[in-house]
């Protein structure tokens, strides 16, 4: 939500929104404030409201708060609990 965003981040403006971080092993995503940030890798924490903990890189998806699947850039993999187990 916009209200949550305004409390926890500084929105990027203009050219600063296009500055890319260096050495991103799993790719680059935009965070909930519009900044370019490194994508998360296999087994790293992700998700949350507005993806505040980050987004997973290509080839992975966020399940139970961790990136599951295989990173297409490194071919490293992580397969944690399935989503139904998270609800228990």
For 26-70, the pLDDT digits (tens) are 999 999 899 999 999 999 999 998 899 999 999 999 999 999 999
Q: Where are the beta strands (DSSP E) in the chain?
A: 28-30, 36-38, 60-63, 66-70, 77-78
Domain ranges of the chain: 2-86
Q: Which CATH fold would you assign to the domain 2-86? A: Omega-AgatoxinV (4.10.40)
Q: pTM (2 decimals)?
A: 0.80
The span from the CA of 40 to the CA of 26, in Å, is: 6
């Amino acid at each position: 939500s916009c209200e949550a965003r305004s409390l926890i981040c500084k929105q990027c403006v203009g050219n600063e929104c296009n500055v890319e971080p260096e050495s991103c092993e799993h790719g680059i995503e935009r965070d909930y404030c519009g900044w370019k940030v490194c994508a998360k890798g296999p087994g790293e924490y992700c998700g949350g409201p507005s993806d505040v903990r980050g987004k997973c890189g290509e080839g992975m998806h966020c399940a139970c708060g961790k990136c599951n699947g295989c990173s297409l850039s490194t071919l490293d993999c992580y397969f944690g609990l399935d989503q139904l187990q998270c609800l228990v």
